Structures are given as structure tokens and as C-alpha cells.
Amino acid sequence: MSSTAYPILIVEDDSDLSELIKIQLTDNDYEIEQAFHGRIALNKALENKYSLIILDVMLPEVDGFEICKSIRKEDRQIPILMLTAKAEEADKIMGLEYGADDYLTKPFSIKELIARVKALLRRASASETEDSSKLDQMDFGDLVIYPKKRSVQLQDELIELTSKEFELLLLFANNPGRAYSRQELLDVVWGYQYSGYSHTVNSHINRLRSKIEKNPSEPKYITTVWGMGYKFAELEELGIQ
């Protein structure tokens, strides 16, 4: 697939930086749109289809975290690369927990930005290819997963999951009984660059449980392996032969 197949939205209120990013990405044959205010950016993101969004945190009217959270409610799959002038770990954690796929702290090199963009687009493309070869449906009693559609039903009711929540659930469901450490989950679902943010895994697991478990405090599907991490229940434990 050529680069021109990938429309990218740049959300950055610094017009000079936005133009610099636009020039560099255009030179790499990407189609670029820009937004300089949070509310305009959010409207664009929700009304149009993009292959990737480059999203600054500090924006007029609506900040990047709120935009990311709103996008994830509507589009669970689009890659989001967040930019920020802040280097605090709390901001990185917040971005990840709101659903960002990657994170760059200003100042950054344009080469690094382009490398991250290409990596995110490759990952998204690979995910689509992988999904096309998977089962149409995975049944776990009341819980049904549709890998190709990237959707989940619980007792015939559609459950809305973010991209990362779905990737976590699908990883577990494909490997029932296998225990994963928090670092392993970070590496597989988020990527190696997030080493050390294991509490992000915890918060995603908690949210996932709140959506798929009848009693999240006594989970049936995703259980805690003390001293290790988490696992998906084996089929026998779920009463499935």
C-alpha cells in the first residue's frame, strides 16, 4: 500500500511546528490535514476518516487528553501519536490510559517522528491483515469475540472496548490458561518503549473487567496470577468442552 493511501491529521497549535511536520510528511507522500484548536480538531477527527492522528496535548479550548478520550469512544482503532512539551511521567501514563498508541516529548527530531508514524501505520496495517486470517467468532459462554469485526458481545449485548482493551482481550482469548506478566503485556500490546509503565496494564485490565465480568471483583474470564500477572481462564474452568 502506498503512503498516499494514508491521510494523517496533525493537531498542533504551534503553526510553525505544524507546518514543519506537514512538509516532512508530505515529502513522504502522506496526505495531510491540520487543526490548530482543540474543538476543531475533535470535530475533524470524529467527522472524517484518518489513518493516523498526531495529537498535541496542550491545545486551546479542548486539550489533547480529552480529544484522545473522545476519539476512543467513537473509533477504537485509529492510531494516535501524542506530542507534548511536558516530560512528566504522569502525562505519559495519562496519554496511554486514554488510548494513545505512542508518545513523543518535545523537542524531538523529525526523523524520529517519521519513524514513529511509519511504525504505527505498519502496526495498524499488520493488525488488519492478521484479523482477516483469524476465526470469525470465538465463543466463551456468554462472552463472544469477533476478531475480524474487532467487536465483543456479552449475553448478546455489544460491548464497547477501546483498541487496547480489545487487543488485550484477544491476546488472552487466543492463549487461555497462559499467564502473562505485566511487562509481557506491555511489550506485546503497547510496544517495548513503554517498559516501566506496568500500572497502565493494571488500569486497562480493571476497565476491561468492568465491561466483561459479571462481578469484576471476582473475575471469571481474566484472573490474577499472584506474583506473576494475569491469565485468561482455561476452557474447562468456563465449563466449555
Partners of residue 153 on adjacent β-strands: 144, 158
Q: 241 lies in a domain? A: no
In a domain, 79, yes or no: yes
Report the distance separating Cα 65 and Cα 49, nearest Å: 20
Domain membership of residue 237 (yes or no) is: no
pLDDT tens, residue by residue, 214-239: 899 999 999 999 888 999 998 788 87
Residue 117 placed within a domain: yes
Q: Note whether 21 and 126 are same-domain residues.
A: yes
Furthest-apart CA atoms within the chain: distance in Å = 61
Mark whether 143 and 105 lie in a shared domain. no
Same structural domain for residues 228 and 199? yes
In a domain, 220, yes or no: yes
Whether residues 194 and 172 fall in one domain: yes
Query: 80 and 63 in one domain?
Result: yes
pLDDT tens digits for range 49-97: 899 999 999 999 899 999 998 998 876 678 999 998 766 667 777 777 7
Q: Are residues 32 and 76 in the same domain?
A: yes
Asked, for residue 56, whether it belongs to a domain, the answer is yes
Domain range holding 222?
A: 134-232
Which CATH number goes with the domain that contains 216? 1.10.10.10
For the chain, the domain total comes to 2
Instruction: Tell the burial category of 236 from Cβ atoms under 10 Å away from its Cβ (0-12, 13-18, 19+).
Output: exposed
Residue 239 maps to a domain: no
Q: How far apart are CA 180 and CA 161, in angstroms?
A: 20
Q: What confidence score (pLDDT) does residue 231 get? A: 94
Its pTM stands at 0.65
Residues 152-170: tens digit of each pLDDT:
999 989 998 888 888 899 9
Edge to edge, the sheet with strand 151-154 lists: 138-140, 143-146, 151-154, 157-159
34: Cβ–Cβ under 8 A, 6 or more apart, which residues?
9, 10, 11, 12, 18, 22
Could you say which of 94, 114, 130 is where a domain stops?
130
Among candidates 82, 42, 75, which has minimal Cα distance to 58? 82
Last residue of a domain, one of 78, 105, 130: 130
Tell which of 97, 130, 163 closes a domain. 130
Q: Are residues 146 and 38 in the same domain?
A: no
Q: Which residues, 6 or more positions from 227, have their beta carbon under 8 angstroms from its beta carbon?
A: none
Domain harbouring 120, CATH code? 3.40.50.2300
Indicate whether 200 belongs to any domain: yes
CA distance 95 to 83: 10
Distances from the Cα of 179 to the Cαs of 85, 146, 174, 224, 231, in angstroms?
Answer: 37, 23, 12, 9, 4
Q: Is it the case that residue 208 has pLDDT exceeding 70?
A: yes
Task: Give CA–CA dist 98/204, Å, rounded.
Answer: 10
115 in the same domain as 52:
yes
The amino acid that residue 101 corresponds to is D
- Residue 96's closest CA among 171, 199, 182? 199
